[in-house]
Amino acid sequence: MTDEEKLAAMSKALAAAENDPLQPACVMRAFLSESVHLGNIPLHPLTLRGHLQLESARSPFVTGEFPNDGEAALQALCIAVSALAQRDVTRQELIESLTPQEAAEAEIVVARIINAAWETALPMRRVEKAGEKSSPLSRDHGFGWWVRVLTKLIVDLGFTRDEALDCPMAQAFALVATNDVLDGKEPTEMNWKEREAINALENSAQVIVGRVAAAAPSAGGKENEQADENPVDHRNNLQ
């Protein structure tokens, strides 16, 4: 596909997203998501309190730096499972709760839930009025994003401290972004629908490329007749 064709496909996808009468899928998932069971342990969507617990423990599910040591990896998994279960889960309980298959997939299951918490995160900016001078980008001043979201939930939306701490992150991001729109702000880049349209376009392109590669002749001139039996597992990037 040429650059012109890619640009045309993106423009078409963005136009379709703008005219789509349905709600943004990520927002619907944020408010309709249910618990996922890891063995017999129910895991809930990640809350602001849970994220703070992960950051305090410098969890690899936040830093992206996963340990090679088995004991350290199990401890990190226990901390993450506890944050999602919203209670302390011991190593022994975790081990006894999982079948060998569930144990092998536990890290991926937990990572997906944590990644989903960021789906609705949407940077916003104030809309400049006609004749108004452009204001410089606001500095973080070392506060980080977490306490600013917490403050907006409490000050602007009337949450109590505990209600804000226990709010699922995906819901918190959606509520804060929507409140910012009502306050005259706009997304700094793409909105939810536009972002989903581009992601779907990129995913479909990857699928097509994969199919073409699978059907292409091998170096020896023979067509590939069998898919890779041991595909490499790519871990989702944590934000």
pLDDT tens digits, one per residue of 32-74:
988 999 999 999 999 999 999 999 999 999 999 999 998 999 9
pLDDT of residue 160: 97
Domain boundaries, the chain: 26-116
pLDDT of residue 208: 44
pLDDT of residue 134: 52
Decide if pLDDT at 158 tops 90. Answer: yes
Decide if pLDDT at 203 tops 70. Answer: no
pLDDT of residue 139: 58
Decide if pLDDT at 136 tops 70. Answer: no
Of residues 119 and 23, more confidence is placed in 119
pLDDT of residue 128: 72
pLDDT tens digits, one per residue of 18-32:
666 667 888 889 999
**Token pair of 136, please?**
């410089």
CA distances from 90 to 16, 54, 74, 77, 107 (A): 48, 16, 10, 10, 16
- Percentage, residues of the chain above pLDDT 90: 51
Residue 158 φ/ψ, nearest 5 degrees: 80, 15
pLDDT of residue 231: 30
- DSSP element (H, E) containing 72: helix 70-85
Q: ∠159-165-169 over CA atoms, to 5°?
A: 100
pTM over 0.75: no
Burial grade of 206 (CB within 10 A; 0-12, 13-18, 19 or more): exposed
pLDDT tens digits, one per residue of 66-85:
999 989 999 999 999 999 99
CA distances from 119 to 67, 149, 190 (A): 26, 15, 13
Burial grade of 211 (CB within 10 A; 0-12, 13-18, 19 or more): exposed
